[in-house]
Structure 1
Amino acid sequence: MPVRHPFALRWNDNDQYGHVNNTVYYQAMDTAVNTWMIREAGLDPSGEVRGYCVASSCEFRSPVSYPDDDLEVVIGVERLGTTSITWDLPIVRAGTDGPVATGRFTHVFVDATTQRPVPVPTSIRAAVEQQLAPSAA
């Protein structure tokens, strides 16, 4: 079952067209996933294992703008692999279910010193399996 992470929009998130700039959606997804991994799964960003984003995408469905909208990132998992996680990240208006954007991030976990892939840390794997019910293991 996915969890929701609030993402408050700010004055400077609007672009010259009067809606939230596309880069803000990526910030929302990145912030949501990393906050969840730190708080719920024990990720230490300065630790021996790091999760690097190796791929990301976003499909925009409906414009939003500050101050009219507050957003939530719905954190789900598309695939839990040996050394990577592909996150399924719909972005919705707070309290709704219809996505204004649909995103995806793939993190590969690496040793901080060697920069070589390592297995998804046990604490992160367990938290994903318990809280996010990935569709593939």
Structure 2
Amino acid sequence: MTYPHTAPFPTRWNDNDVYGHLNNTVYYEAMDTTINVWLMTSAGLDPSAGEPIGVCVSSSCEFAASAAFPDALEVGLRAGRVGRSSVTWELGILRDGVVIAEGRFVHVFVDDATRRPVPIPAHIREAIERELTI
């Protein structure tokens, strides 16, 4: 698995659940945060500027191994399918370079005011194609 972008995912004490491992919602939080930080820092998305935003219409995660605090993890990010108004983000949660969970988020870009689908903004599409397409 190759991920052109990775971000640190330091686990926290309160991420563990009663079963002694990271709760599944924590994986989703890490993936969602990685996507949105990348969009803001690398693709120029400004969620407060009234421009088109990406909203999640679908997400999934498959777990191969368990993690727990104090594991130091990473989130890998790449673009899968890039359509007219949507992008499928493919993500991996990695421990020591080994994928322990694989996730998928589908974002549809919508007008900030009407929430109707719009084409992916050109600057975001260019950043995706330049940095995240394999």
Question: Which residue type is aligned with residue 73 of structure 1?
Answer: V
Structure 1: gaps of 5 or more residues: none
**How far apart are the structure 2 equivalents of 1:44 and 1:115?**
16
Per-residue deviation, residues 38-68 of structure 1 (Å, max 9, x unmatched) = 000000111221110000000011001001x
**How far apart are the structure 2 equivalents of 1:46 and 1:54?**
20
Partner of 1:56: 59
TM-score by length of 2: 0.94
Indicate the SS of the match to 1:4.
Answer: strand
Partner of 1:26: 28
Partner of 1:109: 109
Q: Once superposed, which parts of structure 1, at least 4 consecutive aligned residues long, lie more than 4 Å away?
A: none
**How far apart are the structure 1 equivalents of 2:81 and 2:41?**
21
Per-residue deviation, residues 49-93 of structure 1 (Å, max 9, x unmatched) = 1110000000011001001x1111110111111000000001101
> In angstroms, what is the RMSD of aligned CA positions?
1.0
Q: Is residue 2:68 matched to residue 1:65? A: yes
**How far apart are the structure 1 equivalents of 2:115 and 2:132?**
27
Aligned residues: 131
TM-score by length of 1: 0.92
Partner of 1:3: 5
- The Cα shift of 1:132 comes to 1.0
Q: Equivalent pairs: percent with the same residue?
A: 55
**How far apart are the structure 1 equivalents of 2:33 and 2:65?**
21
Question: Which residue type is aligned with residue 49 of structure 1?
Answer: P
